[in-house]
Chains A and B, each alone.
Chain A
Amino acid sequence: GQSLEQPSEVTAVEGAIVQINCTYQTSGFYGLSWYQQHDGGAPTFLSYNALDGLEETGRFSSFLSRSDSYGYLLLQELQMKDSASYFCAVSHYGGSQGNLIFGKGTKLSVKP
């Protein structure tokens, strides 16, 4: 089966850096995605890693280590608007498996 583990909650202060970790166990791993969801809103795509290493998109970066089945999302220069839930998701396209498997999400609270 597939499983993803991420912390349930993280708290940080405005302007700081926070890292949200994700470990996964899955067959047919293809890549790791990150999504952001504000309360009452729809998930929105943030980043995707298919290869080992760091991908940077503005204040957000995402890292993947396939050998360790591990990834993280790094948020820099935190802003109040970054308060949201963050989900890692495994894609394993191939054969009949084309859906994303989501983690349970990490609720990030940014304090002033």
Chain B
Amino acid sequence: GAGVSQSPSNKVTEKGKDVELRCDPISGHTALYWYRQSLGQGLEFLIYFQGNSAPDKSGLPSDRFSAERTGGSVSTLTIQRTQQEDSAVYLCASSARLSYSYEQYFGPGTRLTVT
């Protein structure tokens, strides 16, 4: 079946503008995760969703970041008033359910550049 898809693949925006990043998980996967990866660095956890439960937002770096997941499927990560330090690759992943969080399937990522 289809893997995790993300759009756009690349986004260049001006400092101060808002951006929306989209993630479409593997069909049937109930857990969805967002990470951020700066150049040459590891993955920084941002937020995860499991089914209809309240998301775990503990990794969001500031209140400029928010995410929602509609209908238990597609998720959107929104960054308001972007700053240059927000430039990174934003990766989305899904797993069959939260108890399978050890095996996550990643999308290709969105490369965000804030100028």
Contacts and interface: CB of A to CB of B under 8 A. Distances in A.
Interface of A: 30-31, 33, 41-45, 48, 50, 87, 89, 91, 93, 96-105
Given A30-B102, A87-B42, 7 more contacts: A43-B93, A43-B104, A44-B106, A48-B102, A50-B102, A93-B99, A104-B42
23 contacts: A42-B106, A42-B107, A43-B43, A43-B106, A45-B105, A87-B43, A89-B43, A91-B102, A93-B98, A93-B101, A93-B102, A96-B56, A97-B56, A98-B98, A98-B99, A99-B33, A100-B43, A100-B102, A102-B42, A102-B43, A103-B42, A104-B41, A105-B41
A98 B48 contact: yes
Nearest to B4: A42
B41 to A, nearest CB: 7
B101 A91 contact: yes
Contact of B104 (A45, A96, A103, A105): A45
A98 B101 contact: yes
Interface in B26-67: 31, 33, 35, 41-45, 48, 50, 56, 58-59
B23 interface: no
Contacts, number: 65
Interface of B: 31, 33, 35, 41-45, 48, 50, 56, 58-59, 91, 93, 98-99, 101-109
Contacts of B58: 96
Nearest to B34: A99
Nearest to B97: A98
A42 B109 contact: yes
B42 A48 contact: no
Contacts of A41: 108
A33 B42 contact: no
Nearest to A88: B42
A99 B48 contact: yes
A91 B103 CA distance: 9
Contacts of A99: 33, 45, 48, 56, 59, 101
Contacts of B50: 98
